[in-house]
Structure 1
Amino acid sequence: MIIQTTRINRAGGVHYLASHLLDKTDENELIEILAGDRDALHDAQALASARGCRYSVRHLSISPEREMTPMQLSAFLRSVDTEFRIGPDRPRLVVRHIKNGRSHFHLAVAEVDPGTLRVLDCKNDYRRLEDLARRYEVEQGETAQPARAERRRNRAEGFSDTARKRAERVAPSFDRTALRKSFVKGGAAFGAELDRQGLRLAEGEKGAVLVSAASGTFVSAACRATGVKRAEFQKFLQEENPNARHSRNPLRVPEHDRGDGAQHAKALAAPRAPGAARGARQDRATDGNSRAHSRRAAHTGNGAQEPRGKGRSSAASIARTRERLFLHRLTKLDLDDLLRRAMELAASIMVMLAPERDRLAWRIAEAKRTQRQFPPAERIEEQRPTYDLTRRIRP
Structure 2
Amino acid sequence: MIINGQAVKGAKRLAHHLMKPENEKVSILEISGTASNDNLKWALMDMEALGRLTQSRTGKVLYHANINPQSHEVLSREDYIRSADRLMNELGFEGQPRAVVMHVKQGRQHAHLVVQLTDLDSGKLRPISNNYYKHRTVAKDLEKELRLDRSPRRKSGKSFEQKEAQQAKKLKVDVSHLRTVVTLAYETAKQGKDFLRNLRQSAIELAKGKRLVLVDERGGIHSLTRTLKATAKPKEIKDKLRDVIPDLPSPEEAKERQRLSENISEHNRLYQSEDIALRQLAEFRQKKLMEEVQVRMIERQRQFQRQKGLGL
TM-score normalised according to structure 1 size: 0.43
Quote how far apart the aligned CAs of 1:259 are: 10
Q: Please say if 1:134 is aligned against 2:140.
A: yes
CA 1:179–1:152 in structure 2 vs 1: closer, same or farther (change >3 Å)?
Answer: farther
Q: Partners of 1:248 and 1:6 in 2: how far apart?
A: 41
Quote how far apart the aligned CAs of 1:71 are: 2.4
Q: Please say if 1:82 is aligned against 2:85.
A: no
**Cα deviation digits, residues 217-246 of structure 1 (max 9, x gap):** 4586798475569985463477xxxxxxxx
In the other structure, the counterpart of 1:21 is 18
In the other structure, the counterpart of 2:75 is 68
Q: Which structure 2 residues correspond to residues 230-249 of structure 1 after superposition, within 5 A? A: 233=237, 235-236=239-240
**Cα deviation digits, residues 231-275 of structure 1 (max 9, x gap):** 85463477xxxxxxxx769xxxxxxxx99389xxxxxxxxxxxxx
Alpha-carbon contact 2:118-2:124 (below 8 Å) kept:
yes
Counterpart selection for 2:97 from 91, 94, 118? 91
Quote how far apart the aligned CAs of 1:62 are: 0.8
CA 1:209–1:202 in structure 2 vs 1: closer, same or farther (change >3 Å)?
Answer: farther
CA 1:82–1:219 in structure 2 vs 1: closer, same or farther (change >3 Å)?
Answer: closer
Q: Partners of 1:32 and 1:153 in 2: how far apart?
A: 30
Counterpart selection for 1:122 from 106, 116, 128? 128
Q: Which structure 2 residues correspond to residues 157-236 of structure 1 after superposition, within 5 A? A: 162=174, 165=177, 176=183, 199-201=188-190, 204=193, 208-209=195-196, 211=198, 217-218=201-202, 224=224, 226-227=228-229, 233=237, 235-236=239-240
Alpha-carbon contact 1:179-1:226 (below 8 Å) kept:
no
Alpha-carbon contact 2:192-2:241 (below 8 Å) kept:
no
Q: Partners of 1:125 and 1:85 in 2: how far apart?
A: 10
Quote how far apart the aligned CAs of 1:154 are: 8.8
**Cα deviation digits, residues 356-394 of structure 1 (max 9, x gap):** xxxxxxxxxxxxxxxxxxxxxxxxxxxxxxxxxxxxxxx
1:122 is paired with a residue whose SS is coil
1:44 is paired with a residue whose SS is helix
TM-score normalised according to structure 2 size: 0.53
Q: CA RMSD in A?
A: 4.3
Q: Partners of 2:126 and 2:164 in 1: how far apart?
A: 36
CA 1:167–1:210 in structure 2 vs 1: closer, same or farther (change >3 Å)?
Answer: farther
Q: Partners of 2:238 and 2:122 in 1: how far apart?
A: 61
Q: Which structure 2 residues correspond to residues 248-259 of structure 1 after superposition, within 5 A? A: none
In the other structure, the counterpart of 1:3 is 3
Quote how far apart the aligned CAs of 1:158 are: 9.2
Q: Please say if 1:110 is aligned against 2:88.
A: no
Quote how far apart the aligned CAs of 1:59 are: 0.9
Q: Partners of 1:112 and 1:237 in 2: how far apart?
A: 53
2:14 is paired with a residue whose SS is helix
- What letter corresponds to residue 50 of structure 1 in structure 2? L
Q: Please say if 1:35 is aligned against 2:30.
A: yes
Q: Partners of 1:110 and 1:39 in 2: how far apart?
A: 13
Q: Which structure 2 residues correspond to residues 261-272 of structure 1 after superposition, within 5 A? A: none
- What letter corresponds to residue 45 of structure 2 in structure 1? H
Quote how far apart the aligned CAs of 1:144 are: 2.5
Segment drifting more, 122-131 vs 216-225: 216-225
**Cα deviation digits, residues 197-235 of structure 1 (max 9, x gap):** xx455764xx743639xxx94586798475569985463
Counterpart selection for 2:49 from 34, 39, 46? 46
In the other structure, the counterpart of 2:271 is none
Q: Partners of 1:33 and 1:20 in 2: how far apart?
A: 13
**Cα deviation digits, residues 331-366 of structure 1 (max 9, x gap):** xxxxxxxxxxxxxxxxxxxxxxxxxxxxxxxxxxxx
CA 1:248–1:203 in structure 2 vs 1: closer, same or farther (change >3 Å)?
Answer: closer
Count how many residue pairs are aligned between Structure 1 and Structure 2: 211
Q: Partners of 1:211 and 1:41 in 2: how far apart?
A: 52
Q: Partners of 2:158 and 2:7 in 1: how far apart?
A: 24
